[in-house]
Structure 1
Amino acid sequence: MTTVSKPALKPDNGSYTKYKVLAAALGTIIPVAVAILHYFPNTFRIEGAQVKMLPAVNAVLNSLTAVLLVAGYYFIRQKNVIRHRTMMGLAFLMGSFFLVSYVVYHSQVPSTKFGGVGLIRSVYYFFLLTHITLAAVTVALVLFTLYFALTQQFAKHRRIARWTFPIWLYVSVTGVIVYFMISPYYT
Protein backbone atom coordinates (compact mmCIF):
# COMPACT_ATOMS: atom_id res chain seq x y z
CA MET A 1 0.00 0.00 0.00
CA THR A 2 1.37 3.37 -1.01
CA THR A 3 0.64 6.42 1.10
CA VAL A 4 0.49 9.84 -0.35
CA SER A 5 1.81 12.52 1.90
CA LYS A 6 1.07 16.18 1.70
CA PRO A 7 3.82 18.26 0.16
CA ALA A 8 6.00 19.98 2.74
CA LEU A 9 5.12 23.58 3.35
CA LYS A 10 7.62 25.96 1.91
CA PRO A 11 8.55 28.58 4.48
CA ASP A 12 8.02 31.43 2.03
CA ASN A 13 4.66 30.39 0.57
CA GLY A 14 2.56 32.49 2.94
CA SER A 15 1.56 29.54 5.14
CA TYR A 16 2.87 31.34 8.22
CA THR A 17 0.75 34.46 7.79
CA LYS A 18 -0.79 34.16 11.25
CA TYR A 19 2.69 34.29 12.80
CA LYS A 20 3.61 37.35 10.76
CA VAL A 21 0.40 39.03 11.92
CA LEU A 22 1.17 38.08 15.53
CA ALA A 23 4.73 39.45 15.25
CA ALA A 24 3.45 42.69 13.71
CA ALA A 25 0.71 43.01 16.35
CA LEU A 26 3.12 42.43 19.25
CA GLY A 27 5.63 44.76 17.64
CA THR A 28 2.97 47.46 17.77
CA ILE A 29 1.09 46.60 20.97
CA ILE A 30 4.13 46.33 23.26
CA PRO A 31 5.55 49.81 22.52
CA VAL A 32 2.04 51.29 22.80
CA ALA A 33 1.54 49.56 26.17
CA VAL A 34 4.86 50.95 27.41
CA ALA A 35 3.84 54.43 26.24
CA ILE A 36 0.51 54.10 28.10
CA LEU A 37 2.41 53.18 31.27
CA HIS A 38 4.59 56.25 30.81
CA TYR A 39 1.75 58.71 30.24
CA PHE A 40 -0.70 57.12 32.72
CA PRO A 41 1.59 55.75 35.45
CA ASN A 42 -1.02 55.22 38.16
CA THR A 43 -3.56 53.42 36.00
CA PHE A 44 -2.42 49.92 36.98
CA ARG A 45 -0.96 50.69 40.39
CA ILE A 46 -1.31 48.00 43.08
CA GLU A 47 -1.04 49.38 46.60
CA GLY A 48 1.90 47.89 48.50
CA ALA A 49 3.62 46.32 45.47
CA GLN A 50 7.33 45.82 46.18
CA VAL A 51 9.19 46.73 43.00
CA LYS A 52 12.12 48.79 44.30
CA MET A 53 14.75 46.27 43.17
CA LEU A 54 13.41 45.90 39.60
CA PRO A 55 15.54 48.67 37.98
CA ALA A 56 18.69 46.83 39.12
CA VAL A 57 17.20 43.54 37.91
CA ASN A 58 16.45 45.22 34.57
CA ALA A 59 20.06 46.40 34.28
CA VAL A 60 21.29 42.86 34.92
CA LEU A 61 18.86 41.44 32.35
CA ASN A 62 19.94 44.06 29.79
CA SER A 63 23.60 43.27 30.50
CA LEU A 64 23.00 39.54 30.07
CA THR A 65 21.09 40.20 26.85
CA ALA A 66 24.02 42.22 25.47
CA VAL A 67 26.54 39.51 26.38
CA LEU A 68 24.36 36.81 24.82
CA LEU A 69 23.90 38.86 21.65
CA VAL A 70 27.65 39.29 21.26
CA ALA A 71 28.18 35.57 21.92
CA GLY A 72 25.48 34.71 19.36
CA TYR A 73 27.15 36.96 16.81
CA TYR A 74 30.53 35.38 17.53
CA PHE A 75 29.15 31.87 17.08
CA ILE A 76 27.42 32.60 13.79
CA ARG A 77 30.65 34.16 12.47
CA GLN A 78 32.31 30.86 13.42
CA LYS A 79 29.51 29.03 11.54
CA ASN A 80 28.45 27.32 14.77
CA VAL A 81 24.71 27.45 14.16
CA ILE A 82 23.76 25.38 17.23
CA ARG A 83 25.54 27.68 19.68
CA HIS A 84 24.33 30.75 17.78
CA ARG A 85 20.75 29.52 18.08
CA THR A 86 21.25 28.81 21.80
CA MET A 87 22.73 32.26 22.53
CA MET A 88 20.06 34.06 20.54
CA GLY A 89 17.30 32.04 22.19
CA LEU A 90 18.71 32.95 25.60
CA ALA A 91 19.02 36.61 24.53
CA PHE A 92 15.36 36.52 23.50
CA LEU A 93 14.46 34.96 26.85
CA MET A 94 16.44 37.57 28.83
CA GLY A 95 14.88 40.33 26.72
CA SER A 96 11.44 38.91 27.43
CA PHE A 97 12.14 38.75 31.18
CA PHE A 98 13.39 42.33 30.97
CA LEU A 99 10.25 43.49 29.21
CA VAL A 100 7.98 41.88 31.80
CA SER A 101 10.04 43.31 34.67
CA TYR A 102 10.11 46.75 33.03
CA VAL A 103 6.33 46.79 32.54
CA VAL A 104 5.71 45.62 36.12
CA TYR A 105 8.01 48.31 37.53
CA HIS A 106 6.66 51.16 35.42
CA SER A 107 3.07 50.14 36.11
CA GLN A 108 3.75 50.73 39.81
CA VAL A 109 6.20 53.64 39.97
CA PRO A 110 6.14 57.01 38.21
CA SER A 111 9.16 57.87 36.08
CA THR A 112 12.21 59.10 37.94
CA LYS A 113 13.47 62.56 37.02
CA PHE A 114 17.13 62.90 36.12
CA GLY A 115 18.83 65.37 38.44
CA GLY A 116 22.10 65.95 36.61
CA VAL A 117 23.00 69.37 35.22
CA GLY A 118 25.24 70.67 32.48
CA LEU A 119 26.81 68.43 29.84
CA ILE A 120 25.92 65.20 31.68
CA ARG A 121 22.23 66.10 31.34
CA SER A 122 22.60 66.34 27.54
CA VAL A 123 24.50 63.04 27.44
CA TYR A 124 21.81 61.37 29.56
CA TYR A 125 18.97 62.62 27.37
CA PHE A 126 20.82 61.64 24.20
CA PHE A 127 21.16 58.07 25.49
CA LEU A 128 17.61 58.01 26.85
CA LEU A 129 15.94 59.34 23.70
CA THR A 130 17.91 57.12 21.30
CA HIS A 131 17.32 54.16 23.63
CA ILE A 132 13.55 54.74 23.77
CA THR A 133 13.20 55.37 20.04
CA LEU A 134 15.17 52.30 19.04
CA ALA A 135 13.58 50.13 21.76
CA ALA A 136 10.18 50.77 20.18
CA VAL A 137 11.50 49.45 16.86
CA THR A 138 13.47 46.60 18.41
CA VAL A 139 10.43 44.58 19.48
CA ALA A 140 9.19 44.14 15.90
CA LEU A 141 12.70 43.61 14.53
CA VAL A 142 13.46 40.88 17.06
CA LEU A 143 10.14 39.14 16.48
CA PHE A 144 10.52 39.14 12.70
CA THR A 145 14.15 38.03 12.91
CA LEU A 146 13.08 35.16 15.14
CA TYR A 147 10.14 34.37 12.83
CA PHE A 148 12.40 34.11 9.78
CA ALA A 149 14.81 31.85 11.67
CA LEU A 150 12.05 29.56 12.97
CA THR A 151 10.46 29.28 9.53
CA GLN A 152 13.85 28.55 8.00
CA GLN A 153 13.79 31.61 5.77
CA PHE A 154 17.48 32.10 6.35
CA ALA A 155 18.12 34.64 3.57
CA LYS A 156 15.43 36.91 5.04
CA HIS A 157 16.70 36.13 8.54
CA ARG A 158 20.22 37.26 7.61
CA ARG A 159 18.96 40.43 5.91
CA ILE A 160 16.91 41.59 8.89
CA ALA A 161 19.44 40.36 11.47
CA ARG A 162 22.00 42.77 10.01
CA TRP A 163 19.75 45.56 11.33
CA THR A 164 18.34 43.81 14.38
CA PHE A 165 21.66 42.84 15.96
CA PRO A 166 23.27 46.30 16.23
CA ILE A 167 20.01 48.01 17.19
CA TRP A 168 19.14 45.40 19.84
CA LEU A 169 22.70 45.51 21.19
CA TYR A 170 22.61 49.32 21.33
CA VAL A 171 19.27 49.25 23.16
CA SER A 172 20.57 46.69 25.67
CA VAL A 173 23.80 48.57 26.37
CA THR A 174 22.20 52.02 26.56
CA GLY A 175 19.56 50.59 28.90
CA VAL A 176 22.35 49.76 31.33
CA ILE A 177 24.02 53.16 30.83
CA VAL A 178 20.72 54.98 31.45
CA TYR A 179 20.16 52.89 34.59
CA PHE A 180 23.57 53.80 36.05
CA MET A 181 23.11 57.46 35.17
CA ILE A 182 19.66 57.73 36.79
CA SER A 183 20.12 55.32 39.70
CA PRO A 184 21.36 58.01 42.12
CA TYR A 185 18.00 59.78 41.69
CA TYR A 186 15.74 56.85 42.62
CA THR A 187 13.83 57.51 45.84
Structure 2
Amino acid sequence: MRAGLTKTDRIAVPVIIALSIAVPLIVLILMYLPERFNFLGTRAGTFPFFHAILNGSTAILLMLGYFFMRIKEYKLHRNTMITAFFLSAVFLVSYVISKMSNDPVPYGGEGVLRYLYFFILITHIILSAIIVPLVLFTMYRGLTAEYDKHARIARWTFPIWLYVAITGVLVYVFMMPYY
Protein backbone atom coordinates (compact mmCIF):
# COMPACT_ATOMS: atom_id res chain seq x y z
CA MET A 1 0.00 0.00 0.00
CA ARG A 2 1.32 3.47 -0.91
CA ALA A 3 2.15 5.90 1.85
CA GLY A 4 -0.85 8.09 2.67
CA LEU A 5 -3.38 5.72 1.09
CA THR A 6 -5.44 4.07 3.82
CA LYS A 7 -7.64 1.01 3.50
CA THR A 8 -10.74 3.21 3.28
CA ASP A 9 -8.99 5.38 0.66
CA ARG A 10 -8.76 2.36 -1.62
CA ILE A 11 -12.55 2.29 -1.68
CA ALA A 12 -13.44 5.97 -1.29
CA VAL A 13 -11.00 7.46 -3.81
CA PRO A 14 -12.18 5.34 -6.79
CA VAL A 15 -15.82 6.01 -5.83
CA ILE A 16 -15.16 9.77 -5.66
CA ILE A 17 -13.36 9.67 -9.01
CA ALA A 18 -16.17 7.65 -10.61
CA LEU A 19 -18.83 10.05 -9.30
CA SER A 20 -16.75 13.03 -10.41
CA ILE A 21 -16.75 11.69 -13.96
CA ALA A 22 -20.31 10.30 -14.00
CA VAL A 23 -22.15 13.35 -12.66
CA PRO A 24 -21.05 15.88 -15.32
CA LEU A 25 -21.46 13.27 -18.06
CA ILE A 26 -25.02 12.46 -16.97
CA VAL A 27 -25.95 16.14 -16.88
CA LEU A 28 -24.39 16.69 -20.33
CA ILE A 29 -26.26 13.71 -21.81
CA LEU A 30 -29.56 14.85 -20.31
CA MET A 31 -29.16 18.33 -21.78
CA TYR A 32 -29.10 16.83 -25.25
CA LEU A 33 -31.95 14.36 -24.92
CA PRO A 34 -34.02 14.35 -28.10
CA GLU A 35 -37.23 14.08 -26.07
CA ARG A 36 -38.22 15.36 -22.62
CA PHE A 37 -40.09 13.30 -20.03
CA ASN A 38 -42.00 15.74 -17.84
CA PHE A 39 -43.30 13.07 -15.47
CA LEU A 40 -43.91 15.64 -12.72
CA GLY A 41 -45.90 17.96 -15.00
CA THR A 42 -43.89 21.06 -14.05
CA ARG A 43 -43.68 24.38 -15.88
CA ALA A 44 -40.31 25.53 -17.23
CA GLY A 45 -39.71 28.10 -14.45
CA THR A 46 -40.56 25.87 -11.48
CA PHE A 47 -37.25 24.08 -11.19
CA PRO A 48 -35.02 27.13 -11.72
CA PHE A 49 -36.70 29.00 -8.85
CA PHE A 50 -36.22 25.99 -6.57
CA HIS A 51 -32.60 25.70 -7.74
CA ALA A 52 -31.98 29.38 -6.96
CA ILE A 53 -33.32 28.86 -3.44
CA LEU A 54 -31.06 25.81 -2.98
CA ASN A 55 -28.02 27.65 -4.37
CA GLY A 56 -28.67 30.75 -2.28
CA SER A 57 -29.15 28.67 0.86
CA THR A 58 -25.96 26.74 0.08
CA ALA A 59 -24.01 30.00 -0.30
CA ILE A 60 -25.27 31.22 3.07
CA LEU A 61 -24.39 27.90 4.71
CA LEU A 62 -20.92 27.95 3.17
CA MET A 63 -20.24 31.40 4.58
CA LEU A 64 -21.60 30.34 7.97
CA GLY A 65 -19.46 27.20 7.89
CA TYR A 66 -16.39 29.28 7.11
CA PHE A 67 -17.25 31.62 9.98
CA PHE A 68 -17.66 28.69 12.40
CA MET A 69 -14.32 27.26 11.30
CA ARG A 70 -12.59 30.62 11.82
CA ILE A 71 -13.93 30.91 15.39
CA LYS A 72 -12.99 27.26 16.05
CA GLU A 73 -16.58 26.03 16.47
CA TYR A 74 -15.75 22.82 14.65
CA LYS A 75 -18.94 20.93 15.46
CA LEU A 76 -21.04 23.80 14.09
CA HIS A 77 -18.69 23.99 11.10
CA ARG A 78 -19.11 20.28 10.40
CA ASN A 79 -22.90 20.35 10.73
CA THR A 80 -23.24 23.45 8.58
CA MET A 81 -21.04 22.03 5.84
CA ILE A 82 -22.88 18.70 5.88
CA THR A 83 -26.12 20.64 5.45
CA ALA A 84 -24.60 22.61 2.54
CA PHE A 85 -23.52 19.30 0.99
CA PHE A 86 -27.03 17.89 1.46
CA LEU A 87 -28.61 20.95 -0.24
CA SER A 88 -26.14 20.60 -3.11
CA ALA A 89 -27.06 16.93 -3.47
CA VAL A 90 -30.77 17.83 -3.51
CA PHE A 91 -29.95 20.47 -6.13
CA LEU A 92 -28.12 17.92 -8.27
CA VAL A 93 -30.99 15.41 -8.21
CA SER A 94 -33.50 18.18 -8.93
CA TYR A 95 -31.33 19.56 -11.73
CA VAL A 96 -31.14 16.15 -13.39
CA ILE A 97 -34.94 15.81 -13.15
CA SER A 98 -35.38 19.30 -14.59
CA LYS A 99 -33.14 18.51 -17.56
CA MET A 100 -35.20 15.39 -18.23
CA SER A 101 -38.47 17.32 -17.86
CA ASN A 102 -38.14 20.64 -19.66
CA ASP A 103 -36.51 21.95 -22.81
CA PRO A 104 -33.71 24.45 -22.27
CA VAL A 105 -34.86 28.07 -22.23
CA PRO A 106 -32.69 30.42 -24.31
CA TYR A 107 -31.40 33.69 -22.86
CA GLY A 108 -33.04 36.66 -24.60
CA GLY A 109 -30.96 39.54 -23.25
CA GLU A 110 -28.87 41.81 -25.46
CA GLY A 111 -25.81 44.02 -25.28
CA VAL A 112 -23.49 44.06 -22.27
CA LEU A 113 -25.91 41.99 -20.18
CA ARG A 114 -25.71 39.18 -22.73
CA TYR A 115 -21.90 39.07 -22.48
CA LEU A 116 -22.04 39.25 -18.68
CA TYR A 117 -24.66 36.48 -18.55
CA PHE A 118 -22.65 34.15 -20.75
CA PHE A 119 -19.43 34.84 -18.83
CA ILE A 120 -21.21 33.98 -15.57
CA LEU A 121 -22.93 30.95 -17.12
CA ILE A 122 -19.79 29.50 -18.72
CA THR A 123 -17.64 29.93 -15.60
CA HIS A 124 -20.49 28.51 -13.51
CA ILE A 125 -20.77 25.42 -15.72
CA ILE A 126 -17.01 24.76 -15.84
CA LEU A 127 -16.56 25.23 -12.10
CA SER A 128 -19.67 23.11 -11.40
CA ALA A 129 -17.89 20.15 -12.94
CA ILE A 130 -14.65 20.91 -11.11
CA ILE A 131 -16.37 21.30 -7.74
CA VAL A 132 -17.77 17.75 -7.65
CA PRO A 133 -14.47 15.99 -6.81
CA LEU A 134 -13.31 18.88 -4.64
CA VAL A 135 -16.42 18.76 -2.45
CA LEU A 136 -16.37 14.96 -2.26
CA PHE A 137 -12.70 14.83 -1.28
CA THR A 138 -13.08 17.71 1.18
CA MET A 139 -16.07 16.05 2.85
CA TYR A 140 -14.33 12.68 2.91
CA ARG A 141 -11.16 14.07 4.52
CA GLY A 142 -13.16 15.99 7.10
CA LEU A 143 -15.42 13.08 8.00
CA THR A 144 -12.44 10.71 8.33
CA ALA A 145 -10.74 13.21 10.66
CA GLU A 146 -7.83 13.81 8.27
CA TYR A 147 -7.91 17.49 9.15
CA ASP A 148 -4.60 18.52 7.55
CA LYS A 149 -5.66 17.06 4.19
CA HIS A 150 -9.16 18.46 4.70
CA ALA A 151 -7.82 21.97 5.30
CA ARG A 152 -5.45 21.84 2.31
CA ILE A 153 -8.20 20.92 -0.14
CA ALA A 154 -10.86 23.09 1.53
CA ARG A 155 -8.76 26.18 0.69
CA TRP A 156 -9.61 25.47 -2.95
CA THR A 157 -13.05 23.97 -2.46
CA PHE A 158 -14.58 26.78 -0.44
CA PRO A 159 -14.14 29.71 -2.86
CA ILE A 160 -15.04 27.62 -5.92
CA TRP A 161 -18.13 26.10 -4.26
CA LEU A 162 -19.21 29.55 -3.04
CA TYR A 163 -18.74 31.00 -6.54
CA VAL A 164 -20.79 28.18 -8.07
CA ALA A 165 -23.58 28.66 -5.52
CA ILE A 166 -23.72 32.45 -5.98
CA THR A 167 -23.52 32.32 -9.77
CA GLY A 168 -26.29 29.71 -9.75
CA VAL A 169 -28.54 32.37 -8.22
CA LEU A 170 -27.28 34.99 -10.68
CA VAL A 171 -28.03 32.74 -13.66
CA TYR A 172 -31.60 32.42 -12.37
CA VAL A 173 -31.91 36.20 -11.94
CA PHE A 174 -30.71 36.76 -15.53
CA MET A 175 -33.08 34.09 -16.87
CA MET A 176 -36.17 35.04 -14.81
CA PRO A 177 -37.83 37.12 -17.56
CA TYR A 178 -37.59 34.22 -20.02
CA TYR A 179 -39.24 31.44 -18.03
CA distance in 2, matches of 1:96, 1:159: 23
Please, which of 65, 90, 107 is the counterpart of residue 72 of structure 1? 65
Which residue of 2 is the match for residue 15 of structure 1?
7
Of residues 153, 167, 177, the one that matches 1:174 is 167
How far apart, CA to CA, are the structure 2 residues paired with 1:91 and 1:41? 33
Whether contact under 8 Å (1:145, 1:157) holds in the other structure is yes
- SS of the aligned residue for 2:129 comes to helix
RMSD: 1.4
- Separation in 2, partners of 1:93, 1:47: 25
Q: 2:138 is aligned with what amino acid? A: T
Moved over 6 A (4+): none
Q: Deviations over 1:83-105 (max 9, x none)?
A: 00010000001101111111101
From the superposition, tell whether residues 40 and 46 of structure 1 become closer, same or farther in structure 2 (CA, over 3 Å). Answer: closer
Equivalent position SS for 1:40: coil
How many pairs does the alignment contain?
Answer: 174
State the percentage of identical aligned residues: 45
2:42 aligns with one of 36, 51, 54: 51
Is the 8 Å Cα contact of residues 47 and 94 (structure 2) preserved in structure 1? Answer: yes
- CA–CA separation in structure 2 for the residues paired with 1:126 and 1:103: 23
Q: 2:131 aligns with which of 131, 134, 138?
A: 138
Q: Can you give the 5+ residue segments of structure 1 that lack an aligned partner in the other structure?
A: 1-11
Contact 2:38 2:102 in 1 (8 A): no
Q: Per-residue deviation at 1:183? A: 1.5
Over 3 Å counting, the alpha-carbon distance change for 1:139 and 1:107 in structure 2 is same
Alignment correspondent of 2:54: 61
Answer yes or no: is the 8 Å Cα contact 1:41–1:109 preserved in 2.
Answer: no
Asked whether the equivalents of residues 145 and 160 of structure 1 are also in contact (C-alpha less than 8 Å), the reply is yes
Equivalent AA in structure 2 for residue 141 of structure 1: L
CA offsets per residue over residues 40-97 of structure 1, 9 Å max, x none?
A: 252xx32553232111111000000000000000000001100000100000011011
**Structure 2 match to 1:116:** 109
Task: Give, as a single letter, the amino acid of the residue that structure 2 aligns with 1:157.
Answer: H
Distance (Å, rounded) in 2 between the aligned partners of 1:83 and 1:49: 36
Identify the range of structure 1 (46-55 vs 19-28) with the bigger mean alpha-carbon deviation.
Answer: 46-55
